Amino acid sequence: MNVEAVEILIVGAGPAGSVAAALLRQQGRQVLVIEREQFPRFSIGESLLPQSMAYLEQAGMLQAVVEAGFQFKNGAAFMRNGCYTDFDFRDKHSAGWGTTYQVQRADFDHLLAKEAERFGAEVRYRHEVLDIELGKDGAPALVTVKGADGAQYQVRAGFILDASGFGRVLPRLLNLETPSNFPVRGAIFTHIEDGIHGGGFDRTKIRVTVHPKHCDVWFWTIPFAGGRCSLGVVAETSFLDRYQGSATERLQAIVAEEPSLVALLENAKWDTPARQIVGYSANVDKLWGEGYALLGNAGEFLDPVFSSGVTIAFKSASLAAAVLQRQFAGEQVDWQADFGAPLRKGVDTFRAFVESWYAGGFQTIIFHDKQQPEVRRMISAILAGYAWDLTNPFVKETPRRLAALEALCAQG
């Protein structure tokens, strides 16, 4: 096999991989991105959080995203049994961006990958990593790749960033996976022409709707520009398995159980076959090792309820690029202190909110009719993606603060 050498090999050209590639190219590093799919390709996770805008700006991609014509977003709305509440992310505790976009990921991810190429990264589509042999004592790793033509070749990589998302290439090849502590949940989803007219729906916000009989079953409605939206339901697989038929028929049957969604989507055209994913929550025993680091969903994926996936991907790319800059400059670096621990802090903040959501406690908080403005602004900041801002008490002491607030709201 042919063998080539590269300073940094990135596995996956999704948001984490593309942003990491751009940041590293700005440092003058040689970057090769191996992507299994051909872009554009379908992906869910369409509702960005405002915190992500800072990383797009850092990567030099902000102008391209702003000019792409995506749906403007300034918050999140929640509906439960006819009760509506929303958060405007511009009114939040943390400093920084308060607005962002809702994006068709096929277009968004392709745009970011092209931006990475503009900065000088090489992106190879329809190339797949087959095997990785890590180097020892600072020696390069040896990566075996299958090209688009089926021929295999090898790459000696000074460092590997795994941004392969749900493909989780390094966790699989290096046996890093550990069980998630979340129940096995699934999602059924599609894109539709929503047919929503009038002022009853705020297209600048994602809407999360709770099933009228099951607090742990919820729907997302993510409006796009041009009158389309992403629609999906998330539940434990035991619930989803009650419904028969195609994925589209099952999704329609579950949506029919929620009156506000039935009314909202009465003129919708279901013009795209629905899809299903199951058991998406994942974890690893470590986020880095000698010669590699895991970015975004390749390391851990929690749950889609608060749209945290892309923000975590961007944060991990930013942290890894900063550590690599120092490492290539000859400094002694501590990947756990400078990458693993800070990344986990934000992920654990999101995790506590996700767990509270499914247990019902966080729903009690956000639908409470006597919310304190400052507490509301702290929660808004986390929903906007600022899960690493330690000036926010709900980040600094997430479990304790959440539990105390849940108890207070439960008392009325």
Res. 412: pLDDT tops 80: no
For position 389, what pLDDT does the model report?
Answer: 98
> What value does the mean pLDDT take over residues 151-166?
96
Res. 136: pLDDT tops 90: no
For position 137, what pLDDT does the model report?
Answer: 85
Partners of residue 262 on adjacent β-strands: none
For position 294, what pLDDT does the model report?
Answer: 97
End-to-end, the C-alpha distance of the chain in Å comes to 69
Q: Position 365: which residue type?
A: I
What percent of the chain stands above pLDDT 90? 90
> What value does the mean pLDDT take over residues 303-321?
96
Give the pair of three-digit tokens for residue 122: 């090489």
Give the pair of three-digit tokens for residue 397: 């002491």
What is the model's pTM? Answer: 0.96
For position 216, what pLDDT does the model report?
Answer: 96
Q: How confident is the model at residue 411 (pLDDT cuts 50, 70, 90)?
A: confident
For position 279, what pLDDT does the model report?
Answer: 83
Going from the C-alpha of 222 to that of each of 37, 201, 204, 211, 291, the distances in angstroms are: 25, 11, 9, 17, 38
Give the pair of three-digit tokens for residue 114: 């092209």
Q: How far apart are CA 282 and CA 342, in angstroms?
A: 19
Give the pair of three-digit tokens for residue 177: 């996976």
For position 144, what pLDDT does the model report?
Answer: 98
Burial, 143: exposed, middle or buried (Cβ in 10 Å; 0-12, 13-18, 19+)? buried
Q: Where is average pLDDT lowest: 85-94, 181-190, 386-395? A: 181-190
Give the pair of three-digit tokens for residue 357: 């959501």
Q: How far apart are CA 127 and CA 147, in angstroms?
A: 4
Q: How confident is the model at residue 188 (pLDDT cuts 50, 70, 90)?
A: very high
Q: Which helix (H) or strand (E) holds 85?
A: strand 83-88
Instruction: List domains and CATH numbers for the chain.
Output: 3-71+100-179+283-346 (3.50.50.60), 185-278 (3.30.9.100), 360-410 (no CATH)
β 3-11/152-162 pair status: parallel
Averaged pLDDT of the chain? 95
For position 119, what pLDDT does the model report?
Answer: 98
Give the pair of three-digit tokens for residue 149: 């033509």
Res. 178: pLDDT tops 90: no
Q: How far apart are CA 141 and CA 155, in angstroms?
A: 8
For position 123, what pLDDT does the model report?
Answer: 98
Q: What is the 3-state secondary structure (H, E, C) of 194-250?
A: CCCCCCCCCCCEEEEEECCCCCCCEEEEEECCCCEEEEEEEEEHHHHCCCCCCHHHH
Give the pair of three-digit tokens for residue 221: 């409605």
Q: How far apart are CA 287 and CA 292, in angstroms?
A: 9
Question: Quick one: which of 209, 213, 235 has its CA closest to 221?
Answer: 209
For position 198, what pLDDT does the model report?
Answer: 75
Res. 385: pLDDT tops 90: yes
Q: What is the 3-state secondary structure (H, E, C) of 252-278?
A: HHHHCCCHHHHHHCCCCECCCCCEEEE
Question: Quick one: which of 40, 108, 107, 97 has its CA closest to 73?
Answer: 97
DSSP classification of residue 282: B
Q: How far apart are CA 264 and CA 224, in angstroms?
A: 15
